[in-house]
Chains A and B, each alone.
Chain A
Amino acid sequence: MLEIKNLHAKIAETDTQIINGLNLSVKAGEVAAIMGPNGSGKSTLSYILAGREDYEVTEGDILYNGESILEMDPAERAAAGLFLAFQYPMEIPGVATMQFLKVAMNEQRKARGEDELSTPDFIKLVREAAGTLNISMEMLKRPLNVGFSGGEKKRAEILQMKLLAPSLCVLDETDSGLDIDALKIVADGVNALRAPDRATIVITHYQRLLDYIVPDTVHVLSKGQIVKTGDKDLAKELEAKGYADIIAQAA
């Protein structure tokens, strides 16, 4: 489903090279964890996948379902089924969460040539999805993410993911700022979306999240490259030995 080939990328403004020949392949149905120390390029990778303009790909390619997405803008990538759950979801004053959800769902439907949702259908979908994530309709009337707690923001991200039903989910440090109860709700939400035709990339610093979202593959990112790949036991090994050892072994 996703094929990243020899990817090199830099921060457009400063020319700082962040990704240095990264290779990664994720199959449909797979949950892949990307782990790495601070500054290894984890969040950068998620932004590049989503199409953020602050980064410039200088070499290599990203193939999604066999086609390069490098020329697509973020909205086109989203409509094609790519979803990034942000580490720090943006607070947007003046835009009610419900209104935002409706626009997002309908814009994606429009881009795919589907009819817009009727208001009753839309509300029904939101009500169902919100219920399982412990999100009140009251919260959704508030401006998008404004004044939401850390847990509420992450749950709102998973709600969006559920409603938009992407085929490739990228979760960037979804566990950061979550207590254990909130973590379980978020993990349940992600697990409920596991499907044979959907791939998930879980980016995390800590192994803890992977107790709840059990990955099929684990990849260690260091200095903008995948230096080691294994199964879920690799995450446990990282937890036990720390990044320095594993990265040193790989080098």
Chain B
Amino acid sequence: MTAPIQLTAGEEAILAAYNAKAQSLPGNAETVRARDAAVHALKTNGLPTRKVEAWHYTDLRRLLKAMPHGQGNAIAEVDPILPGAAIFAVDNGVAQPAPAIAGVNTEQVSDALRADVGAYVPAFNGDDDAIGQLNAAFVSGGYRIAVADGQELDQAIEIQTRTGDTQAHTAHSVTIGANATATMVERCLTKGDAMLSAVTTINVKEGATLNWIIVQEDDLSATRLAKLTFEIAEGATVNLFVANFGGKLIRQEVHAACAGENAHLNFRAINMIGDETHCDVTLVLDHSVPNTTSEETVRNVVTGKGQAVFQGQIRVAQIAQKTDAQMAANTLLLSDEAGVSVKPELEIFADDVICAHGATVAEIDEAHLFYLKARGISDKAARGLLVKAFVAELVEELEDEPLVEVLEARIDNWLEAHG
């Protein structure tokens, strides 16, 4: 036994919140044990510091100074990004009744937590899984969504996570049935002094295709700690697109496994980071069987005192021959105080694979800028055009007209505010 650590204000706040809330959180005896175990882990080890490899560039212990203790304010529903999408609303951690969709079975995580059998047991994955620990301790609700085998969903599902001046902890588990096709949008709308932890576990069965789009438009005062886990079965494809536009402290973890032959992950992220935002996108990808492919492209635009972090780890198992993984992280730094930390990691145990990674950090090309200005385009508009070109390339590859339009409008708004 080592001596108990000296808790920080943030850690004290977590324990105080747990003591205050534990009684009212949903759960049977098994859930309570799981919650207690998570809190115990947090109390014993504290939040991760930069000495913990997975958190080296996001020192959570230093950055998470408090936990909001407000009761929460309602945030109004907004139009879905994809026209006609079904809205699944999670208000301050409470999942509202979901609209019925043919071929989709939806249940509440809160019901599962209370059920006699362990339908949903909060869990975390080791000492460095701070998001898992926090979420396991406090999770109050979310959806269990199952798309039936062979179902091609015409209607997109948009999960609107609306959190106002409080802390909320959500969990979703999603199954996309064999040969099914689905598009799901995670919309993060956080306002005021708010903190959200979100754990989402997704199973994509044989031959299925899932488009998962995260659009984060949180207030500059918001903290969002999110962990997304994919298991991609044989012949299945996941197209994951992450767009970060706000927040104070954002950590988006993606843990993915290409677990069946011919599984494919296409991961793209655009992170528009300004003001004092710290935005961390961390990817851990396993190619665990032969003949799987993945592409990972991350573009950061950083200005003000913004800090961008991208950690991309690709692990290729010894049996995973013919893996093809292509990772690139490109960053545009627009101000002197903006910063970026990029850590690409390849861990390859197979000998017949194609794996590549590249990282670039650049400023706006002065020669390009001069050319545009020499055509009468003002400095601000010219910079905007060049920055937009840098990220729009990824957006346009989505080939989904309404989605491209919405994201480009968000980029324009961000540029207008940060130009």
Contacts and interface: CB of A to CB of B under 8 A. Distances in A.
A103 B377 contact: yes
Interface string A45-74: 000001111000000000000000000011
A78 B388 CA distance: 23
Given A94-B392, A100-B385, A73 B379 contact: yes
In the complex, which of the residues B370, B376, B389, B392 has the most CB atoms of chain A within 10 Å of its own CB atom? Answer: B376
Interface stretch (A104-112, A116-124, A131-139, A193-201): A104-112
A75 B371 contact: no
Given A75-B382, A103-B385, A92 B368 contact: yes
A104 B388 CA distance: 16
A84 B374 contact: yes
A164 to B, nearest CB: 7
A75 B392 contact: no
A94 B374 contact: no
Contacts of A242: none
Contacts of B372: 92, 100, 104
A180 interface: no
B51 interface: no
Interface residues of B, number: 22
A90 interface: yes
Interface string B339-376: 00000000000000000000000000011101111111
A92 B388 CA distance: 12
Contact of B389 (A50, A75, A78, A92): A92
A104 B373 CA distance: 9
Given A103-B377, A104-B377, A52 B389 contact: no
A89 B372 CA distance: 10
A230 B381 CA distance: 42
B368 to A, nearest CB: 5
A160 interface: yes
A151 to B, nearest CB: 19
A244 interface: no
A86 B374 CA distance: 10
A95 interface: yes
B400 interface: no
B370 A74 contact: yes
Contacts of B370: 50, 52-53, 74
Contacts of B378: 75, 107, 111
B267 interface: no
Contact of B376 (A52, A79, A89): A79
Given A94-B392, A100-B385, A75 B367 contact: no
B390 interface: yes
A93 interface: yes
A107 B381 contact: yes
A37 B378 CA distance: 34
B154 interface: no
Given A104-B377, A111-B376, A89 B390 contact: no
B393 interface: yes
Given A90-B367, A107-B378, A95 B373 contact: no
A78 B393 contact: no
Contacts of B381: 103, 107
Nearest to B384: A103
A107 B374 CA distance: 12
B386 interface: yes
Interface string A124-163: 0000000000000000000100000000000000001000
B375 A104 contact: yes
Contacts of B375: 78, 100, 104, 107-108, 160, 164
Nearest to A94: B389
Contacts of A143: 389
Nearest to A109: B376
Nearest to A108: B376
A158 to B, nearest CB: 13
B374 A93 contact: no
Interface string B106-141: 000000000000000000000000000000000000
B374 A95 contact: no
A169 to B, nearest CB: 12
Contact of A90 (B368, B376, B388, B390): B368
Interface in B372-411: 372-379, 381-382, 385-386, 388-390, 392-393
Given A74-B373, A90-B368, A95 B386 contact: yes
Nearest to A93: B389
A156 B368 CA distance: 16
A190 B390 CA distance: 34
B373 A78 contact: yes
A83 B368 CA distance: 16
Given A92-B368, A94-B392, A94-B393, A75 B373 contact: yes
A172 to B, nearest CB: 11
Nearest to A163: B375
A83 B375 CA distance: 7
Nearest to A103: B377
A92 B371 CA distance: 9
Interface string B5-26: 0000000000000000000000
A50 B377 CA distance: 13
Given A94-B388, A107-B376, 17 more contacts: A51-B373, A51-B374, A52-B370, A73-B373, A73-B379, A75-B379, A84-B374, A89-B371, A92-B371, A93-B393, A95-B385, A100-B372, A103-B381, A104-B375, A104-B376, A111-B378, A164-B375
Nearest 3 CB-CB pairings of A with B: A94-B389, A78-B376, A108-B376
29 contacts: A50-B374, A51-B374, A53-B370, A73-B379, A74-B370, A74-B373, A75-B373, A75-B374, A75-B377, A75-B382, A78-B373, A78-B374, A78-B375, A79-B376, A86-B371, A90-B368, A90-B371, A92-B368, A93-B393, A94-B386, A94-B388, A94-B390, A95-B386, A100-B375, A104-B376, A104-B377, A107-B376, A108-B376, A111-B378
